[in-house]
Structure 1
Amino acid sequence: MNATLIAVALSLVSAAAYASAAVAQARLAGRTEPDAGVLRLLGRGAWWSAVGLNAGGALLHVAALKYGPLTLVQPLGALTLVAAVPLGARTAGRRVTRIEWRGTILTLLGLGALLITAGGTAPHETLSLPEALAVGATTMAVVAGLSRPGTRPGLRHAAASGITSGVASALTQTLTVSVTHHTGPLLSRRLVIVALLVSAFAMGGLLLSQTAYRGGLGAPLAVVTLANPVAAAAIGLALLGERLQGGTISLVPALLGTVAAVRGVILLSHAQAQALAVTDPAATDPKSVAGSPSRVVIGSRGPVDRPMLRPEPGRTPVGGP
């Protein structure tokens, strides 16, 4: 089977797993008292089911990174939002709204255009140690700048969260390709340092996402979803030799697809925030969101750092696109 088809199939199943986990976590959060402790959640089978779905989604995402380039795999993380729409509506006993349909269609059309232009070969290049360190230092500098006190902290923290998650995915691909292609010893200094960077950025994305959602869910959720693939794709195009199919002319459908997907993600994010406000008004209160992790789960999303705190489309692999 073609490597591109394998990557797309794995990404689709990964997004479905993340979306199912998000819905399960949302239902659990709705039935849990705001002041309930973590130990109480540990005794519930629904919570462990969500953890298992998140773990499965993360493993599938890592596998997809072995077969597909970052420019292909990371944007597909937005499918988590798309899959969550019918699942969430069915769970809540309501119909999918017109805005949700518009967001879904635009996101699918945009991703379809990106799939046509994305590189189709399996990844084979990896980051060298100097490149990995440069990526890490640049990412930390950008995050430090976005985390400085100022206006719109929620959106800036959301952008920082998406960037760190996307970088974690790019670094994870280096680990995956190096291990599976046997390009060096498993405990080489390069792979150990890259693994440490993955862990640091995954945890950083998790913490940044939680602070991002304190002032609201819709706009920060959209920023996280979009910043993730942008950061990963930038590394893939600049350092890993990834190219768009069709040369320069392919930039036109790629840009059009990006615009459509961006608009679709924004619509879906706002629709989810509105649905949350209707079903649980307290969850949209900044004090409630900041003080209760079980509330954050309902409107959150993420790739590697998904379990419990934020189900995120994408893209980072240890909890995620």
Structure 2
Amino acid sequence: MTDLDGTVLAVLLSLVSAAGYALAAVAQSRLASASDGGRGALRALLARGQWWWAVGLNAAGALAHVAALHYGPLTLVQPLGALTLVAALPLGAFSARRRVTGAEWRGALWTLAGLVGLVSVTGPAAPGDALSLREALIVAAATALLIAALASGRRHRAPGRAPGRARGLGHATASGVASGVASALTQTLTAALARELPGGTPAWWQTALIAVLISAFAVGGLLLSQAAYRSGLAAPLAVVNLSNPAAAAVIGVALLGETFRAGVWGWLIAAAASVVAARGVVLLSRGSGTAALAPSPVAASGGPLPQPRTDAEASPAPAPAPLAG
């Protein structure tokens, strides 16, 4: 296979990955809008076939992304993954039978520009080593505390009131962080299986522990994204796509000796891209809401809701006066 063929195949697989992630996000947002968030919400969610379709689409998107990285460079595949947000907007609007607003398109373009800018400089200037077992456990513990802080808050809301957007973005941030840490731990597990882990070959139970942590963070990220979509689709999806590479970049810079490309200019580009992406998230959170995805009250009762009667309808009409004579 030539380099051109590999590049074309990487682009096609990246588009398939973005489409899979976008369809999964739309399905999750529809399920989230129909859920009341009570204690039995998770049990009801697991009993829905649509939820397992979303899980399958997420898995298909991840596999296509890994395959794309096999045929193409990271600098090409990662920016194309940002197309998930662009694809999810029209798909979500079509599912809700509405049009994408201008604010949503502007927010998506701002976020996409910021995400591409971040990804373009967050790749390691030189390949880094995997986390040691001790570092992996420290990262897992710190991440668990951070996720608990981001996901904390009141679970219930007043009837008829939409869930808080700030709390939804907190769940989205926690989801992206969990997924990014799961990717970093996967690198550690791969090195452990290849007997190339820093600090020596771990015992079998230590390798199994890393595998359990990866599964926990992966499942936690999926459930946190499900909770985040209760406050909308576009803004939480943008935050998930931003916080995932950001968490991986923090681990790489702090523990693996990696750095941004282009030295000082890379840091400046990353800072500017973060501001641009934050502007896009703000536009998305203002331009989109949960009303378009909320189920109709007609569907809940099987018919139209009774309308309140007016005073004229509530009071009986006066009886006609008897005719004289």
Asked if these proteins are the same fold (TM beyond 0.5), I'd say yes
The correspondence of residues 188-267 of structure 1 with structure 2, limited to 5 A, is 188-210=204-226, 216-217=231-232, 223-267=239-283
Is the counterpart of residue 167 in structure 1 residue 170 in structure 2?
Answer: no
SS of equivalent to 1:173: helix
Is the counterpart of residue 119 in structure 1 residue 123 in structure 2?
Answer: yes
Shift in alpha-carbon separation, 1:243–1:217, aligned structure 2, 3 A: same
Shift in alpha-carbon separation, 1:131–1:22, aligned structure 2, 3 A: same
Is the counterpart of residue 52 in structure 1 residue 48 in structure 2?
Answer: no
Q: Which amino acid aligns with 1:168?
A: A
| Distance in structure 2 (CA, Å) of the matches to 1:70 and 1:128 | 24
Determine the structure 1 residue equivalent to 2:322. none
Shift in alpha-carbon separation, 1:254–1:39, aligned structure 2, 3 A: closer
| Distance in structure 1 (CA, Å) of the matches to 2:102 and 2:81 | 22
Determine the structure 1 residue equivalent to 2:305. none
- CA deviation digits over 1:173-232, x for unaligned, max 9? 3335665x6747898455322211111222333444455566x34766555444333222
Shift in alpha-carbon separation, 1:27–1:163, aligned structure 2, 3 A: closer
Q: Which amino acid aligns with 1:18?
A: Y
The correspondence of residues 106-185 of structure 1 with structure 2, limited to 5 A, is 106-119=110-123, 125-146=129-150, 156-176=170-190, 183=196
Moved more, 98-107 or 77-86: 77-86
**For the Cα contact (< 8 Å) 2:125–2:260, is it kept in 1?**
no
| Distance in structure 1 (CA, Å) of the matches to 2:34 and 2:226 | 21
SS of equivalent to 1:233: helix
SS of equivalent to 2:291: helix
Is the counterpart of residue 13 in structure 1 residue 27 in structure 2?
Answer: no
Shift in alpha-carbon separation, 1:115–1:67, aligned structure 2, 3 A: farther
**Higher-RCO chain (CA-CA 8 Å, sequence separation at least 6):** 1
Shift in alpha-carbon separation, 1:54–1:229, aligned structure 2, 3 A: same
Quote how far apart the aligned CAs of 1:153 are: 5.4
| Distance in structure 2 (CA, Å) of the matches to 1:39 and 1:156 | 23
**For the Cα contact (< 8 Å) 2:168–2:229, is it kept in 1?**
yes
Q: Which amino acid aligns with 1:81?
A: L
Determine the structure 2 residue equivalent to 1:302. none
**For the Cα contact (< 8 Å) 1:71–1:233, is it kept in 2?**
no
**For the Cα contact (< 8 Å) 1:114–1:257, is it kept in 2?**
yes
Q: State TM-score, norm by structure 2.
A: 0.64
Q: Which amino acid aligns with 1:161?
A: S
Quote how far apart the aligned CAs of 1:138 are: 1.6
Q: Which runs of 5 or more structure 2 residues have no equivalent in the other structure?
A: 155-163, 301-325
Greater Rg over alpha carbons, structure: 2
| Distance in structure 2 (CA, Å) of the matches to 1:195 and 1:168 | 10
Quote how far apart the aligned CAs of 1:139 are: 1.5
Is the counterpart of residue 81 in structure 1 residue 81 in structure 2?
Answer: no
Shift in alpha-carbon separation, 1:160–1:133, aligned structure 2, 3 A: same
| Distance in structure 2 (CA, Å) of the matches to 1:199 and 1:174 | 14
| Distance in structure 2 (CA, Å) of the matches to 1:6 and 1:89 | 29
SS of equivalent to 2:259: coil
| Distance in structure 2 (CA, Å) of the matches to 1:67 and 1:187 | 33
Quote how far apart the aligned CAs of 1:129 are: 0.7
Q: State TM-score, norm by structure 1.
A: 0.64
| Distance in structure 1 (CA, Å) of the matches to 2:32 and 2:239 | 23
SS of equivalent to 2:86: helix
